[in-house]
Amino acid sequence: MITENKISLGKIIVTFIYILIFPVVLLLLAGDWLWVEGLIFSVWFLVLCYTTIIYLYHKDPSLLLERYQQPGTANQKGWDKYVVIGLVIGFITWIVIMPLDAKRFGWTTYHSLWLKILGGIGLILSFFFFLRSYTDNTFLSPLVRIQSERMHQVISTGVYGFVRHPMYLGGSLLFIGTPMLLGSTYGLLLGFLVMLLLVFRIVGEEKMLINELEGYNEYKNKVKYRLIPFIW
């Protein structure tokens, strides 16, 4: 249980350094620090992460505290601990495979410019859904749990009036758009596998919300689609 009122500046600095590791690893494994597509993704990733943290630090410190919850703490659903582990492993593997595939070893021998452009558009949309999810929903926990200590309520405005899980939509666009931009077929396959984990998590999370969060069933009937409009 988090008992502080605000994340310390020291923790923020450590987090900034930790986040920086991922684009560094991507470019290091690529073997080319001037890899254009890799630099585009790296800038996208850093701007999204740093902007979100700075915004929450100043505008919604209670949500920033919630985002620092560790797996297995609070009242996280037991099954979700394994999903979180799977997502972490999937993300790290994805970050490692893409530069090896697209740049260092060239396992993907052909990747059209149009696919790269579509990937870039996907990342723009991903940025929007990620950022708006944080600004629209102060209960956006990294864990599947009911935040009773924070008077957890249903959020139905903003991007939550578009689909019920806009952050997972942003994540899906990230896992598909990035390998398209970088030119990695293996990254794309891994991205789809991670998306399957997100789908599994959505199903489990919605069961909890319907049973334990007042008003969620009515919200579900109002906003019909979980992740992809007109499809699911």
**Inter-residue long-range contacts of 22-30, CB under 8 Å, 24+ positions, other chains counted:** 22/95, 25/95, 25/96, 26/95, 26/98, 26/99, 27/99, 29/96, 29/99, 29/100, 29/104, 30/99, 30/100, 30/102, 30/103, 30/104
pLDDT > 90? residue 58? yes
Question: What are the residue ranges spanned by the domains of the chain?
Answer: 9-222
| pLDDT tens digits for range 117-138 | 999 999 999 999 999 999 999 9
pLDDT digits (tens, 9 = 90+) for 72-113: 888 899 999 999 999 999 999 999 999 999 999 999 988 899
Comparing 24-28, 50-54, 64-68, 70-74, which segment has the lowest mean pLDDT?
70-74
Q: Tell me which fold the domain 9-222 belongs to.
A: Four Helix Bundle (Hemerythrin (Met), subunit A) (1.20.120)
Give the HSE-up count for residue 146: Cα atoms under 13 Å, Cβ half-sphere.
14
- pTM to 2 decimal places: 0.92
pLDDT tens for each residue of 153-204: 999 999 999 999 999 999 999 999 999 999 999 999 999 999 999 999 999 9
Q: Where are the alpha helices (DSSP H) in the chain?
A: 9-30, 36-59, 61-67, 78-99, 113-136, 166-182, 185-212, 216-222
